[in-house]
Structure 1
């Protein structure tokens, strides 16, 4: 199973001065374009409520999913032990484009809370937490409903992985999300990690703030970019990862920028949802739900 099922998380020391300076520099300078001029803001202007389609700036789109069309009932994200943590990974219970485009951490893998010694931990159970279907207004959504059994067992968690961007070096990663049913004890840390590197956006307990973190390759103080955004409102979140830069956006607004120890190796994008690492634990019989109305991902390369 290995450490990939429960990536090492952080001592939450704040890099207040450093992250503040990087945020200002990032906002003023942005990333260099191919012609050397600075880019301003989100390269794809990804702030709309609609799924963005097409290439933009130095990014070319490799995934655009709005979850309309096929339904994926509970139970479908099962039998996910095939070729784990590789671009060939798949869930045998899925069919069609969802089998082609999505993988999930297999049932039984422990979440991060296990390695942190939390009183309440989680175990990944994509088969009884993840589904796809229309909301009341007809909008297609992926739903992640985590829950804790009434008998007080481990939280049922879910970590989803878009196959198109598994083990990809650099790129842009965007989604529109909302916690529609909050409860204490549940969180997300959507991340890229490996080889001592980690980029987390968005991250936070679902009943708290949406924040971002960067853990430089080779160690050093984490970059912490505190959020003022509430998980219970719709937000468009984006990570732009290019040579020497990682930038985080919420609704098109730059919220964090770091240049220290940025990964230069292929990493997978993991939509990790799990039991909380801080604060109250999930109560027996409780549940919480995150909904995703679209996901878009882009490879990186100068035009």
Structure 2
């Protein structure tokens, strides 16, 4: 099931924003399944964000959101220098303006009939609206979280969805990328497709409908059939999801366990890491008034130092 994702550059202005109540999900962050040692380069075995270099990878970005408050509405005015490393969201300030970008209002997701960038025939999709779906605040236990609460207005119409992008590693060739994430409310019609993408080359980590299980997809840039792995683990558990991308090799991990390794058509040019969350490409459509939410408790990214990992 190929997932080509070149986004249309449509603009929609003047839409009336729906005010969404900020509801905190009171979930603690449990430890990952114990594995000694973990198979990824950082040997991640728990919920603590790794700090420092890991094997052949040099850490260039680490965010655990602790102590931070970024109100709903801040991820706005995000069309500045779109799809480039100088992109930014005008509504953000300080380090968040430096570190994060989001797909702007007026771009449409893969399922939306205004886009259908992978040739699907869905009749309902989403509009990227980080301005009213994304915020940062502590959970009930004090743990800092980025919250992404997608929804479909009670009046119907397009879903409001969100794709956030760490600016530090936009347009980067090779590296290691990890995040600790959980879907705290899953209902039909919502999905993730976290990916590395640019102009036809695509590698997907943490993908599928939120009521399904976590999948990985590798789309060789030379057109050969995709590789994929179903981890069998639900999105509603806390997971550490990791991608290690080196010359001629792509490795996909969940909770430190290697689920997919592929050498076919591995990209050898700059791609951007996109934490893309959108409307589902199959199954039931989101019902009017429905909502679903994910929490991210940390995000890390690394450059590749040039030595091939073991």
Which of 178, 186, 205 in structure 1 is aligned with 2:190? Answer: 186
Corresponding residue for 1:124? Answer: 128
Residues of 1 paired with 2:46 and 2:266: CA distance?
Answer: 28
Corresponding residue for 1:99? Answer: 97
Residues of 1 paired with 2:203 and 2:143: CA distance?
Answer: 30
Corresponding residue for 1:260? Answer: 264
Corresponding residue for 2:204? Answer: 200
Question: 2:6, 2:200 within 8 Å by CA — same for their partners in 1?
Answer: no
Question: 2:231, 2:254 within 8 Å by CA — same for their partners in 1?
Answer: no
Corresponding residue for 2:7? Answer: 5
CA-CA distance at 1:188 after TM superposition: 0.2
**RMSD between superposed Cα atoms in Å:** 1.5
Residue deviations 1:43-79 (CA, integer Å, cap 9, x gap): 1112320111000111000100000122011100000
CA-CA distance at 1:218 after TM superposition: 2.0
1:282 aligns to what SS in structure 2?
Answer: coil
**Is residue 171 of structure 1 aligned with residue 175 of structure 2?**
yes
CA-CA distance at 1:266 after TM superposition: 0.5
Corresponding residue for 1:147? Answer: 151
Residues of 2 paired with 1:187 and 1:268: CA distance?
Answer: 19
Corresponding residue for 2:288? Answer: 284
Corresponding residue for 2:43? Answer: 45
Corresponding residue for 2:88? Answer: 90
Correspondence list, 1:59-70, <5 A: 59-70=57-68
Which of 235, 242, 249 in structure 2 is aligned with 1:245? Answer: 249
Corresponding residue for 1:233? Answer: 237
Question: 2:68, 2:138 within 8 Å by CA — same for their partners in 1?
Answer: no
Aligned positions, number: 270
Question: 2:100, 2:166 within 8 Å by CA — same for their partners in 1?
Answer: yes
Residues of 2 paired with 1:6 and 1:68: CA distance?
Answer: 35
Question: 1:124, 1:158 within 8 Å by CA — same for their partners in 2?
Answer: yes
**Is residue 222 of structure 1 aligned with residue 220 of structure 2?**
no
Residues of 2 paired with 1:5 and 1:93: CA distance?
Answer: 22
Structure 1, unaligned stretches of length 5 or more?
8-39
Normalising by structure 1, we get a TM-score of: 0.87
Residues of 1 paired with 2:194 and 2:45: CA distance?
Answer: 18
CA-CA distance at 1:152 after TM superposition: 1.2
Residues of 2 paired with 1:113 and 1:244: CA distance?
Answer: 31
Structure 1 stretches of at least 4 aligned residues deviating more than 4 Å after TM superposition: none
Which protein is richer in helix relative to its size?
A: 1
Residues of 2 paired with 1:200 and 1:6: CA distance?
Answer: 19
